[in-house]
Structure 1
């Protein structure tokens, strides 16, 4: 007994001695804890976000600039109290307890609600660093990048490292969706109201309750233990905070909201001799003749001469000899109102018979990354190497008409500390250079990415096969990456690699989803069809044109949401859990998502499906095709004819639309249609600017606020005057509203509007018409956007 008391007293003595030797130093936003086992620094960014840095000694690494772009923040007010065994730190929104031995953080909100608690276990290992935290019983986790496996990662083990999905080889294809990592992002959000960004370029492993339901952990295979904690409590605030650190998605040119078309120019790999510079202009001509709206085109890899050193994996910036006159090819495409034509490239230089770029880069000495496993790898981390690459390589094609590039295969850097951030440097180089050269917003689309890739400016999902087994996982990837700060994302409609016979149903369903993706892109490797819509038959072509045309009418809505992505990081393609985080029915919903704030899209992902269940979250919903109303918090089954994509509209919606066009800005928009679903009070802001310049970064744009008020049998709709430094073109409004009862009168700014005879009449003349069968009111305004308009319906 005496020995036990002695041991207990000795422990108390050691703890007291440890606490006595622990101290802190407060310098502005930095709070440094001086501990016997090493120092820890908290760097306060805002009153709801701080950085945690552990050091085994007294020195912290310098700040890197590839993942995080913002380190300087305005002063944050916080207090520190020494409570003996712990320090208590308080900000305007958080209460942080830092125990001294062992050093652990516990974070609560200002009301004392527990958010996050660390466990006092070893953090530094021979080849890794690690932190453990308490896993709360009802806690769930989202984010982690372009994951194709699950949305809610509770109970999972997640490995994040840029790679192609080299896990267990599936029965068909070469990539494993459980390990798919084209674009991993070491950022996650908890339903408890906080997010964590693991600030490391090294591969990470997140054990989210795989080993135990009592704790989770995150580990990096190298580097420092460095992470950011951010409080929401909602997901949108967390994503906004994360992208405040790593950068917001830029605005793309307005025409980039239209369709992007890729082609192998008549010959894929092993069919390169069939390529021709006549094919791309002929493709553009056929698309225009068929009435398929599109704006951008790129030529994939077979435009390039494949040399013997690296084959199709290298880039010599020399044209295959089947391209007799590339400049005339570009000119012909632009003459058909294609806004931008781009080219596929690789990050590895190769020699060609004319330019000998690899030899010249060797002679230059600073162009290639020293010691890389593949010698021709360009050192995109070095601005001088980028300048040489641009002047000696890219300008060979930019000077005759190429306006952007597709940066493929960014996962070629074999050095562990640089491997994950190499895709950032690779994507940034042409994005910045073309932006300057074209004197307009930059455009590059890339395959690999990591934390910060949203800056350059969009990625595609990679080389997934044309199989039903990959269709839904690709949708899941888009949802997960949107929750990871990357809102500009796309995929190959119909899949990329063709492993099985052509499936018109799969193509049709994938196209429907593709047109309701943040970026719409059609492309495939299958020779000689390349997913061109007419190759699947007249019904598939009609479906393609139907949903492509619908996308073009939605450009004002899509572009307004792209502006919100730029300002707040709100993704265009949003999983339902972001809006309904307390509704566990939404945690694994991957066949439903919000397209902007109002449209719930429900792709059909089962072959031969005659029906599909849809979950309606809280509130009221409308069928986009029929206008039928549904109450929320229920599942319902619907028929799924092949030519219909199930889309439902959230009550209160206000959706701005424009006339159908064959390319963006084909005609002036003199009428904006407002698709309104009145319910209580709701509002929406339509964004406009010049659509092409960088002026939006200077705040030169305009916002037009629309407000709907339904109460006591009357409906009032208001369109405010545009506010901002940009003066939009003049237009009137056609308001279409679902109302249960026929109006007695419709008044605009105090004046009664005449009753019209038909819907078609409302398209042309000022006045109103009520469609009794579909319970829809059509109002064509007399006033335009140069004045405030108020419509009162009694």
Structure 2
């Protein structure tokens, strides 16, 4: 494991010395406060964020983490320290901390004197500890304010706000049989817990501790919330927004942000059991895989990524289905390289395979035995162990060279890392095995999924000489750096649909934005209506993924009837057309940490109506998505926050600040766009790169003002991390006499070629004319003559029935273009 060692203190300044009261010591951005029996270190990261640590009984601070936290050095922060009576007051430009000199109880104020956060005031004694260690385990007790709500905690499937709830954060899922109360128990689902939350009072709290932690968010008292861990340090980061987007930005500045996926990963991801799911392994065939790739093309269903799930490999002699032999199953896969070549000939951009962390042996390949002899597995007492030690670089390299690299040389470009939770815990398949056990294992159990995902992400990225991509099921704080994560194996039943949606909303509130789920559910043949509704939601998820295990139907849309295929194709094409919008939103996430799939409360935290909304969400800045979660319904209730909104399908304008009952025909999922919203769209295509993005269509939902930043790059390399990309500001401004739409010049180090533009503008009435700010005038033509697939001529047409104006013109990327629509 890599460790970080903080810089040595270079100065100690003692202030506020009083008889019987300990000192405060300053060094750089740090302040150490010594109470009667405790020592607290405050380490300013920014004026609005401070790290608060309590030394253990030996005076030690745990600063060694490099798995959850990636930023350890911070710029200088101006702050003041003073002593007033029984308090120290430590103030930055944004917040003031008042710390009790006896027990280190802390109250944090904003600059208006409002209490943002405070350790518990319900102690029976002024000297009673509210932060520190009890029985050598860390704990904190904090004030719970009237009306305060809590959001985050990772991929929670149970509730949105966790006020009044008890939670345990420990990677895994429910155990026991039947699965309905075990693996499928949404109350026990913990595939990606994250010890971070945001409060409706405008602060965020990251408990920097990977041990299993236990949170009581007001279940026992309406005046206090608390957290304790099974071990480790009392170490946390407090941050003030008050905007939730600012809190996410701060949190991800500590734990890292999601790098960009390849642009083609905005398209459809497809998984297959190669024709033989579990129990039917003898039916697996590389011909099935190639035929499946061809059928997506024949059926005109756009797709870009394809992976082979677990039955591609021969199950081993030691760990069976729960291990990975890295040996191809025979006779089904006599020539896997040829198979991958044929998949790529069908213009799939990336193919991969499923793996599990445990190694295994076969008659031909004793990979586990080799690893054990070389000491690169994690020891399990007297047994040398099954798990490669991904905490060790030497072991990781051995695993790559002897396990994964031979597959990469055949054409494997990414992997699905499954069952990371089995390290130190009962696995999904091997019920009699728990992996390593011991004093530090509970902590490493939660960190293992992160390093397990990191290894193939980085190795394959380097091998492929392009951006990495790994699909993983489990994670913890920091896993967002190795995208992407999926929600797990939930059955194709209506009762699991809403919890999966809730999981996506919650994980976004926890700093993990590249997320997905199995459209239509994972196992069981789906009700066709459920299949359609779940796939509609899937196409408006951060990653669109199609995968199921039921034999022989699986989850391909043509297996669910003509209507399902037609609707699937419609939404798949819609997603592909929206890729410029989606990809730009991914870049926004890379820059700020703000996810693509956003809880309504993230944008409107001041609106208490959003606190309980877990069945609709924002998709990027402008689109509100409202999945239909009830069987047989023809309507659903939608909440419209303040402002004006447009129905994406009909163009109807809707006033915000209200609940509204909307109709939900099966061929549509309710979608709404904020007034002023701009949606850049590309031509429909069967796979990314089939066509040039020409013309680029700007779908504009008029309002007083609106803007969008269009992001463009090469779609594959890491050059964007060094500034080689293009950003174009697109804006609209409405006035009494005209509407102006500005497409700015391309800015950045990435060269973009000129292309056609088509504006599709919602307008209640036909304009009197369209011109450019440079004086040129667009020609009005008949609607029937207007070609929406070309943007080479400056002309316009109006659709009276739809209330839409269409304008076309060539874009010169080196110049600003201003379209003036005259009323």
Three-state SS of the structure 1 residue aligned to 2:683 is coil
TM-score (norm 1): 0.96
CA drift at 1:556: 0.3
Where does 1:64-103 land on structure 2 (aligned, <5 Å)? 64-103=65-104
Listed one character per residue, the Cα deviations across residues 589-616 of structure 1 (whole Å, up to 9, x for unaligned) are 1211111111111000001111111111
Listed one character per residue, the Cα deviations across residues 74-94 of structure 1 (whole Å, up to 9, x for unaligned) are 111111001120101110111
2:260 and 2:379 map into 1 onto residues whose CA distance is 31
Partner of residue 108, structure 1 = 109
Q: Indicate which of 377, 385, 399 corresponds to 1:375.
A: 385
1:644 and 1:759 map into 2 onto residues whose CA distance is 26
* Residues 172, 528 of structure 1: alpha-carbon distance in 2 compared, 3 angstrom cutoff: farther
CA drift at 1:372: 9.3
Partner of residue 408, structure 1 = 418
Three-state SS of the structure 1 residue aligned to 2:719 is helix
Three-state SS of the structure 1 residue aligned to 2:512 is coil
2:87 and 2:474 map into 1 onto residues whose CA distance is 43
- 1:256 and 2:265 are equivalent in the alignment: yes
- 1:312 and 2:340 are equivalent in the alignment: no
- 1:787 and 2:812 are equivalent in the alignment: no
Listed one character per residue, the Cα deviations across residues 536-581 of structure 1 (whole Å, up to 9, x for unaligned) are 0111111110000000000100000000010001110111111111
Partner of residue 772, structure 1 = 800
2:339 and 2:382 map into 1 onto residues whose CA distance is 36
Answer with 229-238 or 723-732: which moved more: 723-732
Gaps of 5+ in 1: 1-15
Q: Is the 8 A contact 1:19 1:100 kept in 2?
A: no
RMSD across aligned positions (CA) = 1.6
CA drift at 1:533: 0.8
Where does 1:673-712 land on structure 2 (aligned, <5 Å)? 673-712=697-736
Gaps of 5+ in 2: 1-15, 121-127, 425-440
Partner of residue 460, structure 1 = 486
Answer with 57-66 or 204-213: which moved more: 57-66
Q: Indicate which of 632, 635, 657 corresponds to 1:611.
A: 635
Q: Is the 8 A contact 1:168 1:176 kept in 2?
A: no
CA drift at 1:711: 1.4
CA drift at 1:39: 1.3
CA drift at 1:130: 1.1
* Residues 357, 484 of structure 1: alpha-carbon distance in 2 compared, 3 angstrom cutoff: same
Partner of residue 152, structure 1 = 161
Three-state SS of the structure 1 residue aligned to 2:358 is coil
TM-score (norm 2): 0.92
Q: Indicate which of 516, 521, 543 corresponds to 1:495.
A: 521
Q: Indicate which of 117, 121, 135 corresponds to 2:129.
A: 121
* Residues 290, 144 of structure 1: alpha-carbon distance in 2 compared, 3 angstrom cutoff: same
* Residues 167, 26 of structure 1: alpha-carbon distance in 2 compared, 3 angstrom cutoff: farther
CA drift at 1:766: 2.9
Partner of residue 464, structure 2 = 438
Partner of residue 786, structure 2 = 761
- 1:752 and 2:777 are equivalent in the alignment: yes
Q: Is the 8 A contact 2:705 2:733 kept in 1?
A: yes
Three-state SS of the structure 1 residue aligned to 2:454 is helix
Partner of residue 13, structure 1 = none
1:417 and 1:373 map into 2 onto residues whose CA distance is 21
Three-state SS of the structure 1 residue aligned to 2:119 is strand
- 1:37 and 2:62 are equivalent in the alignment: no
Partner of residue 3, structure 1 = none
Q: Is the 8 A contact 2:378 2:384 kept in 1?
A: no
Partner of residue 7, structure 1 = none
CA drift at 1:413: 1.9
1:617 and 1:374 map into 2 onto residues whose CA distance is 58
* Residues 589, 167 of structure 1: alpha-carbon distance in 2 compared, 3 angstrom cutoff: farther
CA drift at 1:315: 0.5
Listed one character per residue, the Cα deviations across residues 376-408 of structure 1 (whole Å, up to 9, x for unaligned) are 111000000010000011122111110111000
Partner of residue 331, structure 1 = 341
Q: Is the 8 A contact 1:759 1:778 kept in 2?
A: no
Three-state SS of the structure 1 residue aligned to 2:320 is coil
Partner of residue 13, structure 2 = none
Q: Is the 8 A contact 2:38 2:103 kept in 1?
A: no
2:608 and 2:79 map into 1 onto residues whose CA distance is 35
Three-state SS of the structure 1 residue aligned to 2:503 is helix
Listed one character per residue, the Cα deviations across residues 704-754 of structure 1 (whole Å, up to 9, x for unaligned) are 111100111310111011100101132121011111221111002311111
* Residues 109, 402 of structure 1: alpha-carbon distance in 2 compared, 3 angstrom cutoff: same
Answer with 82-91 or 774-783: which moved more: 774-783
Partner of residue 8, structure 2 = none
2:781 and 2:483 map into 1 onto residues whose CA distance is 46
Q: Indicate which of 471, 474, 478 corresponds to 1:448.
A: 474
Q: Indicate which of 647, 651, 665 corresponds to 1:623.
A: 647
Listed one character per residue, the Cα deviations across residues 653-692 of structure 1 (whole Å, up to 9, x for unaligned) are 0110000000011111221000001111211100000000
Three-state SS of the structure 1 residue aligned to 2:359 is coil
- 1:196 and 2:205 are equivalent in the alignment: yes
2:304 and 2:233 map into 1 onto residues whose CA distance is 45
Where does 1:242-641 land on structure 2 (aligned, <5 Å)? 242-321=251-330, 322-369=332-379, 371=381, 375-414=385-424, 415-498=441-524, 502-641=526-665
- 1:233 and 2:242 are equivalent in the alignment: yes
Three-state SS of the structure 1 residue aligned to 2:420 is coil
2:785 and 2:107 map into 1 onto residues whose CA distance is 64
Where does 1:644-659 land on structure 2 (aligned, <5 Å)? 644-659=668-683
CA drift at 1:454: 0.1
Three-state SS of the structure 1 residue aligned to 2:324 is coil
* Residues 323, 57 of structure 1: alpha-carbon distance in 2 compared, 3 angstrom cutoff: same
CA drift at 1:523: 0.1
* Residues 233, 533 of structure 1: alpha-carbon distance in 2 compared, 3 angstrom cutoff: same
CA drift at 1:167: 8.6
Partner of residue 731, structure 1 = 755
Three-state SS of the structure 2 residue aligned to 1:751 is coil
- 1:47 and 2:47 are equivalent in the alignment: yes
* Residues 738, 374 of structure 1: alpha-carbon distance in 2 compared, 3 angstrom cutoff: farther
2:784 and 2:86 map into 1 onto residues whose CA distance is 74
2:536 and 2:300 map into 1 onto residues whose CA distance is 17
* Residues 221, 167 of structure 1: alpha-carbon distance in 2 compared, 3 angstrom cutoff: farther
CA drift at 1:354: 2.2
CA drift at 1:320: 0.5
2:204 and 2:379 map into 1 onto residues whose CA distance is 35
CA drift at 1:756: 1.2
Q: Is the 8 A contact 2:142 2:226 kept in 1?
A: yes
* Residues 194, 759 of structure 1: alpha-carbon distance in 2 compared, 3 angstrom cutoff: farther
1:130 and 1:546 map into 2 onto residues whose CA distance is 52
CA drift at 1:188: 0.1
Partner of residue 3, structure 2 = none
Answer with 105-114 or 282-291: which moved more: 105-114
1:522 and 1:369 map into 2 onto residues whose CA distance is 37
Partner of residue 740, structure 1 = 764
2:72 and 2:133 map into 1 onto residues whose CA distance is 25
1:101 and 1:679 map into 2 onto residues whose CA distance is 56
CA drift at 1:197: 0.2
Three-state SS of the structure 1 residue aligned to 2:806 is strand
* Residues 169, 70 of structure 1: alpha-carbon distance in 2 compared, 3 angstrom cutoff: farther
